[in-house]
Structure 1
Amino acid sequence: MERTEPITAPLDQAANAAYNGHSFSTSTTKVRFAVQPKRGKRGVTRLSTQTNGRLDFTFDAVELSKSKRRLFRRPVETKWTFARSQIFDARITGVEVFFDVHTPEGIQQVIVIPAKRGLARTIFEQLPTRMTPARAEEQAALDQHAERIKTLTPITWVTYALIAINLLVYLAMCAGGVGVMAENVALTVGWGTNYGPQTLSGEWWRLLSSVFVHFGLFHFAFNMVSLYLMGRLAERLYGSARFLALYLFAGLTGSLVSVLWHPINNSAGASGAIFGVFGALLVFLLKYRRELPTSIAVQQRTSILVLIGYNLFSGFTHHGIDNGAHLGGLAGGMLIGFTLARSLNEPARSKTALRSLIVSGVLALTVLGASLYVLTEIREAIGVELARQKQSATPTPGLPAPDA
């Protein structure tokens, strides 16, 4: 009967001083793993074919093995043995441990996921700490990048302030009779939603106030979690004042496109502005990709594209989601983000500060002015449509189009 023990001991100092310098004993643990030739900089992905097996540490090697059972015959065991001298660039991501194996035939990358949560760190600490020059350079860039953006914006106070304002508005709405889950949606119009007929009647302030209004707890919570996760990063890259400007501008462009898209609906929510944050981050990652560590740029760009794609797809396939606000906020965030973005390096960052502010201000005023002009021009047509609907059925503002 096979017995497995969790890894408990680090490496032998006598074997190699580079292996952390501790006493060593063999150990075994159950894992899922994959071994593949390394392809480019990204290597094995989480979509790699993985198999169940064992991980063994010996005095001079790391062994991975799997056993294939056969009916009425002895199991077939396959084993991979990697000498410690061949292992480079060990790293850990959550519960996954990666390392590269350099052989005369080429480089293989290994991913190991322990069966027991919490063992990933133990496995990582028993692997050699040796790095290739490229990996060492990338790791140094990662460390410097984290410190650099924290130095640029030590406290992301705008993100926290925006979350606090949204929370206060939501609590006030609950206390005012709207309800925790927005059971009385008709009352939300009085709190400043982007209700087309009233917005187009001259209550233009609704274009901005609606960004801080939400239809129920889930709508509020989803948007605030997104703002917390992505807003802090955008604020560090852009700076607090510029981040606030792009957030509000994206919120306005989202509301403008929303009322153009469905001028008789009742819409609200922060996700138009949050989509603007997505767009601004994407623009920054493309515009200044050479100033960012490759792994960070690729990972964040992929994550943002997935978020945008998923939310747009959900908006087009589910009733009651305002994709007009999403698209408007995304476009606004990308547009103003391109002009507001500055290099992370001094003195280039300071040199372009005034010019980018002037260009951004002119751009924002032009876009908002042109949009308001278009809205005033179509008010008559919308009035005709509302009159037609009143003849067939009295419209109600109680049917929301949340832009969550």
Structure 2
Amino acid sequence: MITLSLIALTVIVSLAAWRSPSLLASLIYWPPGVAKGQWWRLLTHGFIHADGAHLLFNMITFYFFGRVMEQVLTPRIGALGFLLFYLSGILVAILPSHLHHRGDSQYRSLGASGAVAAMLFAYILLQPWSLLFVFFVPVPAIVFAIVYVAYSFHASHRGGSKINHSAHLWGGAWGVAFMLLLEPGLGPRFVEELLSKLP
């Protein structure tokens, strides 16, 4: 139920922020605000979204992979542990952007992409050859991961986009790192899984 509760909360806060520009301004990640002691922005930006498509994509992705990871993780770390994993995904994903843009008063970032990427890549570590349906096309999870990382890395360095691709990369990295810290044996198991399907 943690996954569904987080989705409901994110939808409610996003809708409220669209209706109230002042609320959105108080929750969004904004470097000068954080510098003034508004530390909550490092987390609250993950509960607001730019538009309906942004919200829908993140929440659908989180719905599918969050439910699976909640079932996997809750017996190990409890419901609170799963909630903290999600929240830490938001925080860890924004920290590199914070360090890079801390002096930029024009920079803004919002969305749950960091936490969602953490869930997605944690799942891929467990099931690298499972099929993900990308625009209704079945793609092996590990192939999707490679393309996703390559694209996000390229787009992050190219710039000129309103999307925080860095958050995708660091969120995904945190998802993998968290799972390996929790169960180091997943690393060798992941390699075995990969090799088992290669020609």
Measured after TM superposition, the shift of residue 212 of structure 1 is: 0.7
Residues 4-403 of structure 1 mapped to structure 2, 5 A cutoff: 157-176=1-20, 178=21, 188-190=24-26, 192-239=27-74, 241=79, 242-263=81-102, 264=104, 265-285=107-127, 296=130, 299-317=140-158, 319-341=161-183
Structure 2 unaligned residues grouped into runs of 5+: 132-138, 187-199
Give the TM-score normalised by the residue count of structure 1.
0.38
| Whole-angstrom CA distance in 2 between matches of 1:237 and 1:342 | 15
How many residue pairs were aligned?
Answer: 171
Letter in 2 for 1:276: A
| Whole-angstrom CA distance in 2 between matches of 1:308 and 1:233 | 22
Once the two structures are superposed, what CA deviation does each residue of 1:231-267 show, in whole Å capped at 9, x if it has no partner?
2222233236243232111111012122112222111
Letter in 2 for 1:162: L
Measured after TM superposition, the shift of residue 196 of structure 1 is: 0.4
Letter in 2 for 1:333: G
Structure 1 unaligned residues grouped into runs of 5+: 1-156, 179-185, 287-294, 345-404
Higher helix share: 2
Letter in 1 for 2:36: S
Q: Which moved more, 1:327-336 or 1:311-320?
A: 311-320
Higher strand share: 1
Q: Which has the larger radius of gyration?
A: 1
Measured after TM superposition, the shift of residue 163 of structure 1 is: 0.8
CA RMSD, Structure 1 to Structure 2 (Å) = 2.9
| Whole-angstrom CA distance in 1 between matches of 2:67 and 2:148 | 16
Measured after TM superposition, the shift of residue 166 of structure 1 is: 0.6
Distance 1:168 1:279, change over 3 A: same
| Whole-angstrom CA distance in 2 between matches of 1:234 and 1:342 | 17
Distance 1:334 1:284, change over 3 A: same
| Whole-angstrom CA distance in 2 between matches of 1:246 and 1:340 | 11
Letter in 2 for 1:256: L
Asked whether the 8 Å contact 2:153–2:166 carries over to 1, the reply is: no
Letter in 2 for 1:219: H
Give the TM-score normalised by the residue count of structure 2.
0.72
Letter in 2 for 1:217: G
Query: Identity across aligned pairs (percent)?
Result: 32
Measured after TM superposition, the shift of residue 270 of structure 1 is: 0.3
Asked whether the 8 Å contact 2:152–2:166 carries over to 1, the reply is: no
